[in-house]
Amino acid sequence: MSTARIAAASVLLLLSLSPNLCKRTGVWQWNLPKGFPEPRVPVDNPMSREKVELGRRLFYDNALSQNRTQACATCHQQKFAFTDGRPQAIGSTGQAHSRNSMALTNVAYASRLTWANNLVDRLEDQALLPMFGDAPIELGLPDGKTLVDRLNVDPRYRELFAKSFAGDAAPISLRNVARAIAAFERTLISGNSAYDRYSRGDTAALSESAKRGMTLFFSERLECFHCHGGFNFADSVDHAKLPEPERAFHNTGLYNVDGKGAYPAGDRGLYKQTGKPDDMGRFKAPSLRNVAVTAPYMHDGSIATLDGVIDHYAAGGRTIESGPNAGAGSDSPLKDKFLQQSIIYSRRRVPCASVSISTGRCRSTSSNSASRSPCRHRRAPIRRAGTSSS
C-alpha cells in the first residue's frame, strides 16, 4: 500500500471522538471545543438541562417503537459514533432499510438531516420520520396518540415533561417528544481528536504519516476538503454565525448501471425528490468526524473499510464487474467534478508508514437504566456539550 493512500487514511482515522465538559450553572451554556461556533437552535425549542435529560431518556426508550423492541439508540449507538455498524439499518419488524444509519455526532451542525432529502432541515422534524415511516418500517408507530398514551402512564415521564415544558397545558405531546429528542441530539458534540489538538498547537498529536495525509487531504490535487471541509469536515453545515445554511449533494461515481450515470432503481438519491436528471445519484457528504468507528461507508454501506473508500476515490469512481449493478462509476457523466482529478493520486506509490489512532473509554449517561453500562471501545468519549440549572 502506498504512502499516499496510508497518509490520506491517517488524517481520516485521527478525526476521532472527543470529550466536551459540562457546567451546571446558570442558564444553558454551550461548552464547545475551541474553534467551534454555537449551534443554531430554533427559537421555538430553546435548550434547557431538563429538556436534554428528557430527550436522552426518550432516545434510549424502546417505548418509541410499536412492538417495544427498538429505540432511537438501536440504530444510533454511542460506541459507533451513533451509527449501528451495519451496512443498512434494520427496523423493529426486521425490515431492512436501503440506507446506512447516519452518525449523530455533531448533528447540531448539519443543515440537512438525511442522505438525500433537501427538505428535512430541523432535528425536530427528522425525529418523527423513523417513528412513523412505513417505507420501510423503522420504529413502526401507527400514530402519535399511541406514543403519548404510553408515556402518560409513566410517572417519571409526567414529571420530566412537566419540568421541560412548564408552560404547556398538556406537556406530554408528540411535538414535545420531538423537541426533547432534538435538544438531546444537539449536545452530541465531538471536537478533540488528534487533528484538533495538532491544529491547536500540539505538534506531537499527529504522526508523520498523518501529517502527510493532512497535506494531501487539503490539497487541490486530491480535492477532499471541498466536500469535507471546515471544522466539521462536511459541506452541508449550519450554525449560529452563518447568515444562511450551507447545503450540498454529490454524485461520487459509486454506480453507473446504464453507462449514463444511473444509480440502482431502488435508491437514486436527490433525484427521487426533485426528478431532475442532474440530481441522479446525488447524496449528502457526511461529516468525517469519528470516521474510524462509523464503518461501513457510503449511503448504502456498500464499502466496508476506509481503505476501500480511498480506493474508490483514487479510481475516480467504483467499477462493479458483474450483476445487476455492473458498471464503471469512473465513466459516469454525472459524477462530481472534484472526482475528476483524484485518479492522479493512485499513480504515485512508495513505501508506507504505520497508522495509529487515539484510544479511550466512554460511559453512557442516559437516565434510562438500559444505557448506563460503560461501553469500552477504543476511542475517546463523546459528552454533552452544555448544560443549565433550573
Task: CATH number of the domain at 216, please.
Answer: 1.10.760.10
Given a contact cutoff of 8 angstroms between Cβ atoms, the answer to whether 317 and 254 are in contact is yes
pTM of the model: 0.85
Within this chain, do residues 11 and 73 fall inside the same structural domain, yes or no?
no
**Bond preceding residue 136 cis, omega within 30 of 0:** yes
Name the amino acid, one letter, at 138: E
Whether residue 355 is contained in a domain is answered as no
Tell me the per-residue pLDDT of 86-136, one tens digit each, with 9 for 90 and over: 999 999 999 999 999 999 999 999 999 999 999 999 999 999 999 999 989
Within this chain, do residues 217 and 340 fall inside the same structural domain, yes or no?
yes
Within this chain, do residues 314 and 370 fall inside the same structural domain, yes or no?
no
Mean pLDDT, the chain, rounded, equals 85
Given a contact cutoff of 8 angstroms between Cβ atoms, the answer to whether 107 and 186 are in contact is yes
DSSP code at position 282 = B
Tell me the per-residue pLDDT of 341-367, one tens digit each, with 9 for 90 and over: 555 444 443 333 222 222 222 333 333
Q: What pLDDT band is residue 338 in, cutting at 50, 70 and 90?
A: confident
By residue range, what is the domain housing residue 234?
3-17+201-347
Within this chain, do residues 186 and 205 fall inside the same structural domain, yes or no?
no
Three cell numbers at 279? 440530481
Given a contact cutoff of 8 angstroms between Cβ atoms, the answer to whether 107 and 243 are in contact is no
What pLDDT does residue 378 have?
A: 29
Within this chain, do residues 227 and 91 fall inside the same structural domain, yes or no?
no
Is the pLDDT at 322 greater than 70, yes or no?
A: yes
Contacts of 200 (CB under 8 A, 6+ apart): 34, 35
Tell me the per-residue pLDDT of 182-234, one tens digit each, with 9 for 90 and over: 999 999 999 999 999 999 999 999 999 999 999 999 998 888 999 999 999 99
Alpha helices in 39-118 (DSSP H): 49-59, 72-75
Tell me the per-residue pLDDT of 55-89, one tens digit each, with 9 for 90 and over: 999 999 999 999 999 999 999 999 999 999 999 99
Three cell numbers at 306? 476506509
Within this chain, do residues 383 and 311 fall inside the same structural domain, yes or no?
no
Number of domains, the chain: 2
What pLDDT does residue 339 have?
A: 83
Within this chain, do residues 33 and 109 fall inside the same structural domain, yes or no?
yes
Within this chain, do residues 69 and 181 fall inside the same structural domain, yes or no?
yes
Within this chain, do residues 155 and 225 fall inside the same structural domain, yes or no?
no
What pLDDT does residue 381 have?
A: 33
Within this chain, do residues 54 and 173 fall inside the same structural domain, yes or no?
yes
Within this chain, do residues 332 and 278 fall inside the same structural domain, yes or no?
yes
Q: What pLDDT band is residue 337 in, cutting at 50, 70 and 90?
A: confident
Given a contact cutoff of 8 angstroms between Cβ atoms, the answer to whether 56 and 366 are in contact is yes
Contacts of 25 (CB under 8 A, 6+ apart): 389
